[in-house]
A and B are shown apart, each in its own frame.
Chain A
Amino acid sequence: MAPAPSSTSSAVTLNINGEKHRLTVDHRTTLLDALRERLDLTGTKKGCDQGQCGACTVLVDGRRAVSCLNLAVAAEGREITTIEGMAEGDRLHPVQQAFLDLDGYQCGYCTPGQICSAIAVIEEHAAGWPSAATDDVRPEAGPPPLTPDEIRERMSGNLCRCGAYVSIVQAVTRAAEAHEASAGDEGTPAETVKGAAA
Chain B
Amino acid sequence: MTTATSGRTRLRGVVGTAHTRVEGRDKVTGAARYAGEVPFADLAHGWLVLSTVARGRIRAVETGPVLAMPGVLAVLHHGNAPRLVTDYAGLMGMTPDPTAAVFQQDRVPHVGWPVALVVAETSEQAREAAEALVVAYDEEPHDTELTTDHPDAHPVGGVMPAETGKGDLAAGLAASAAVVDEEYTTPEEHHSMMEPHAATARWDGGRLEVVDSNQGTTWIQGELASMFSLDASAVRVRSEHIGGGFGSKGLRAHQVAAVMAATELQRPVRVVMTRRQMFSLAGYRSPTAQRVRLGSDADGRLLALEHRSLSRTSTVYEFVEPSAGVARVMYDADAHHTANHVVPLDVPSPTFMRAPGEAPGSFAIESALDELAERLGVDPVELRLRNEPEVGPVSGLPFSTRNLDACFREGARRFGWAERDPRPGVRRDGRWLLGTGTAAASFHSGAGPSTATVTAEADGGFTVRISAADIGTGARTALTLVAADALEVAPERVRVRIGDSDFGPAMIAGGSMGTRSWAWAVTEAAGELRERLALGVTVPPEGITVRSDTTAALGALAQKERHSFGAQFAEVAVDTATGEVRVRRMLGIFAAGRIVNPLTARNQLVGGMVWGISMALHEEAVRDRTSGGLYAPDLAGYHVATNADVGDVQADWVDDADPDDPVGIKGVGEIGVVGAAAAVANAVRHATGVRHRHLPIRPDRVLSAAGTNGERRS
Asked whether any CB of A lies within 8 Å of a CB of B in the complex, the reply is yes
What is A's interface to B at a CB cutoff of 8 Å?
26, 28-29, 33, 36-37, 40-50, 52-53, 55, 82-84, 86-87, 92, 96-97, 99-101, 103, 105-112, 115, 133, 148-149, 151-153, 155-156, 158-169, 194-198
Kindly state whether residue B316 has any CB partner on chain A within 8 Å. no
Q: What residues on A are CB-neighbors of B36 within 8 Å?
A: 36, 46
> B606, A156: Cβ atoms under 8 Å?
no
Complex Cα gap A87–B611 (Å) = 32
Taking a contact as CB atoms under 8 Å apart, the answer to whether A105 and B20 are in contact is: no
Known: A52-B275, A106-B603, A195-B18. 10 other contacts (CB 8 A): A47-B635, A49-B274, A50-B634, A106-B474, A107-B241, A110-B194, A148-B648, A159-B635, A161-B246, A194-B20
CB of B123 within 8 A of CB of A37, answer: yes
Asked if B488 is an interface residue, CB under 8 A from chain A, the answer is no
Query: Closest Cβ of chain A: how far from B655's Cβ, in Å?
Result: 17
**In contact, A195 and B472 (Cβ under 8 angstroms):** no
B1-35 Cβ-contact flags toward A at 8 Å (1 or 0): 00001000000000001111101110111111110
Contact A166 B193 (CB under 8 A): no
Contact-residue bracket for chain B: 35 or more
Cβ–Cβ contact B20 & A152, under 8 A: no
Residues of the B chain whose Cβ atoms lie less than 8 Å from the Cβ of A196: 18, 20, 599
B33: A residues at CB distance < 8 A: 42
Complex interface: chain A residues within 8 A of B34 (CB): 42, 45, 109
**Pair A83/B123 contact, Cβ less than 8 Å:** no
Q: Bound state CA distance, A96 and B222, in angstroms?
A: 38
Q: Specify which chain A residues have a CB less than 8 angstroms from the CB of B20 in the assembled complex.
A: 100-101, 103, 194-196
Query: Are B18 and A105 interface neighbours, CB within 8 A?
Result: no
- Mostly helix, strand, loop or mixed at chain A's interface? loop
Interface flag for B359 (CB, 8 Å): no
B473 interface residue (CB < 8 Å to A):
yes
The residue from A26, A92, A107, A167 contacting B195, defined by CB atoms under 8 A apart: A107
CB distance from B119 to the nearest CB of A (A): 15
* Contact of B275 with A49 in the complex, beta carbons under 8 Å: yes
Could you tell me the distance between the alpha carbons of A86 and B473 in the complex, rounded to whole angstroms? 26
CB distance from A157 to the nearest CB of B (A): 8
- Which residue on chain B has the smallest CB distance to residue A132? B644
A52 lies within 8 A of B634 (CB) = yes
Q: Mark B191-214, 1 if CB is under 8 A from A, else 0.
A: 111111000000000000000000
Contact B642 A163 (CB under 8 A): no
**3 shortest interchain CB distances as A-B pairs:** A43-B30, A109-B243, A107-B472
When distances are taken between beta carbons in the complex, the residues of chain A under 8 Å from B195 are 45, 47, 107, 109
Query: Do A42 and B30 touch (CB < 8 A)?
Result: yes
Residues in A neighbouring B19, C-beta threshold 8 A: 195
> Which residues from chain B sit less than 8 Å from chain A, CB to CB?
5, 17-21, 23-25, 27-34, 36-37, 39, 122-124, 128, 191-196, 241-244, 246, 272, 274-275, 471-474, 598-600, 602-604, 606-611, 614, 634-636, 640-644, 646, 648-650
Query: Given the interface contacts A28-B124, A166-B606, does A44 sit within 8 Å of B27 by beta carbon?
Result: no
Q: Across the interface, do A33 and B123 meet the contact criterion of CB distance under 8 Å?
A: yes
Most buried by A among B27, B36, B471, B646: B27
User: CA–CA, A47 to B193, complex, Å?
Assistant: 9
Q: A155-B643, A159-B642 are in contact. Are A83 and B606 (CB under 8 A)?
A: no
Q: In whole angstroms, what is the CA distance A42 to B611 when docked?
A: 28
Residues of A within 8 A of B649 (CB): 166
Q: Looking across the interface, which residue of chain B has its beta carbon closest to that of A48?
A: B275
**A53 and B635 contact, Cβ closer than 8 Å, known pairs A40-B39, A161-B192:** yes
Query: Which residue of B32, B242, B244, B609 is within 8 Å of A161 (Cβ)?
Result: B244
Select which of B29, B192, B641 is within 8 A of A43 by beta carbon.
B29
Which residue from A33, A48, A86, A151 sits with its C-beta under 8 Å from B29? A86
* A164 and B607 contact, Cβ closer than 8 Å, known pairs A48-B635, A52-B636, A197-B599: yes
Contact of B635 with A108 in the complex, beta carbons under 8 Å: no
Instruction: Note all chain B residues with C-beta closer than 8 A to A26.
Output: 122, 124
Smallest Cβ distance from B583 to chain A, in angstroms?
12
Bound Cα distance A64, B101 (Å): 41
In the bound complex, how far is the Cα of B193 from the Cα of A53, in angstroms? 11
Which residues of B lie under 8 Å from residue A155 when comparing CB positions?
643
Per the bound structure, the CA–CA distance linking A100 and B472 in Å amounts to 14
* From A48, A109, A155, residue with most partner B Cβ within 10 Å: A109
In the complex, the answer to whether B642 meets A108 with C-beta atoms within 8 Å is no
Determine the chain A residues whose CB is within 8 A of the CB of B123 once the complex forms.
33, 37
Q: Is the CB of A47 within 8 A of B611?
A: no
Also in contact, A29 and B30, with CB within 8 A (given A106-B473, A110-B194, A169-B643): no
